[in-house]
Amino acid sequence: MTRGASAPLFPAVGVDGLVPLDDVRAAAARVQGMIVRTPLLASPEVSERVGHEVRFKCESLQRSGSFKFRGALNFVLQLPHELLAKGVITYSSGNHGQAVALAARLRGVHAVVVMPTTAPEIKVSGAEQLGAEVVLEGTTSIERKIRAEAIAQADGLAMVQPFDHPWIIAGQGTMGIEIYEDWPEVEAVLVPIGGGGMMSGVCAALRRLRPDVRLVGVEPFGAASMRAALNADGPVTLPGTHTIADGLAPVRVGDLTFKHVRQLADDVVTVDDGMIREAVRFLLLRAKLVVECSGAAALAALLSGVVGSPGRTAVIISGGNVDLAVKT
C-alpha cells in the first residue's frame, strides 16, 4: 500500500445522487449474522401518553453499544485486503470509534481512533478494550478529522468515514429495512441526527419501501447542524456546539447526508437538553432501558410534543454507551 492510498473510496450512488435501496439490501445481506437484529419493542406507557402506538428500535442493544456498528461493519467488510494491509483509522466522538474497532478486530486488522479530548471515558475505554489505539485531539469534529487524515497519510491507513459515505449510509439503512419488515404498518419514524448517516440510511430504505411514511430527524438545540444546513440550503459549519448529547454534536453535516435529508426526509426538529434528560430518565425508570443522551433524543421529541401526533411511530434508540459523569 502506497502513501496516500488512504484517500476515501467513494463508490457511485444512484442516478439521483442518493444511495439506492438495492445497496441497502446488499448491506443487510453482507452484515447478516454479524450484527444484532435489534428488537422493536412496544411501549404501552408512551403509547398511552401520546395517544398512538409507539415502539422503540433498540440500537442500544447493538454490538459495540450503538447503531454505528452497522455502517462501520458494512464499510470495513468491503475494503480490499491491499487497503487493509496497515490497518484502518477513523475519527469519532466515541460510538463510531468503538464500532470501527470491533469491525477491524473481526477482520483481524489494526484500528486507530481519533477522539476528542472531552470523549467520555466509557467510549475511550470501550474502543481500547476492542483493540484500537486511541488518539485524543481537540474538541470539534473538524479538529479530529484533520488529525485522523494526517495520521492516515503518514502511516498508510485506510480511512473509515464516520457518516458521509455511501457504504456507511447503506449500512445504517439496514435499520430501516428491519423496521419495515417488523412493522409494515408504521406511519412515522423518529431518528436522531448527528452527522446524518443514520437519518440518510433510514430514509434511503423506508422512503422506497413505504413512500407515505413520515420521516423526522431530531437534533439537540445546541448542535443543530442539519437544521442549519436545511435553512441555508447547504451544509454550514457551526461556530461550536453545546449539548449533553455528545454523539450528536458535529459542527458540520456531510454533503451526501445533507442531500439525502433534503430530498427524502419530511422534517428535522430540535430538542433541548432538558427534554433529553427527561427521556433518558423515562427510558431507565419506566422502560428499564439504559440509553445514552444521544440515544434518547428521538424519544425526547415525542414526549415533549415537538413532533405532534404522527400516528404509529417507531422511535430509534440509537445508543447505550452511557457517560456516568453526565447528570440526568
Distance of alpha carbon 60 from alpha carbon 255, whole angstroms: 27
Q: Is the pLDDT of residue 1 over 60?
A: no
Quick one: average pLDDT of 206-224? 97
Q: What is the pLDDT of residue 325?
A: 66
- Rounded to the nearest integer, the mean pLDDT of the chain is 93
How far is Cα 299 from Cα 187, in angstroms, rounded to an integer?
Answer: 16
- Please name each of the domains of the chain with its CATH number: 21-66+165-317 (3.40.50.1100), 69-159 (3.40.50.1100)
Q: What pLDDT sits at residue 15?
A: 67
Average pLDDT over residues 163-167: 96
Asked if 217 and 261 touch (Cβ cutoff 8 Å), the reply is yes
The predicted structure's pLDDT at residue 4: 37
Handedness of CA 40, 64, 29, 212 (dihedral sign): positive
17 pLDDT more than 70:
yes
The mean pLDDT value for 91-111 works out to: 93
Look at residue 307 in the predicted model and tell me its pLDDT.
Answer: 95
Cell triple for 234: 447547504
| Largest interatomic CA distance in the chain | 59
**Nearest-5° Cα angle at 61, 314 to 270:** 45
Tell me the β-bridge partners of 319: 66
Residue 67, C-alpha cell as written in the block: 447503531
Q: Tell me: pLDDT of 326 over 70.
A: no
Task: Give CA separation, 310 vs 201, 215, 297, 302, 315, in Å.
Answer: 21, 10, 17, 9, 11
Q: Report, as an integer, the average pLDDT of 267-274.
A: 98
Indicate the pTM of the whole model.
0.93
CB 279 within 8 A of CB 305: no
Q: What span, in angstroms and rounded, lies between the C-alpha atoms of 313 and 127?
A: 33
Catalytic residues: 68, 318
pLDDT at residue 302 greater than cutoff 90: yes
- Predicted local distance difference test score (pLDDT) of residue 6: 41
* 55 pLDDT tier (thresholds 50, 70, 90): very high
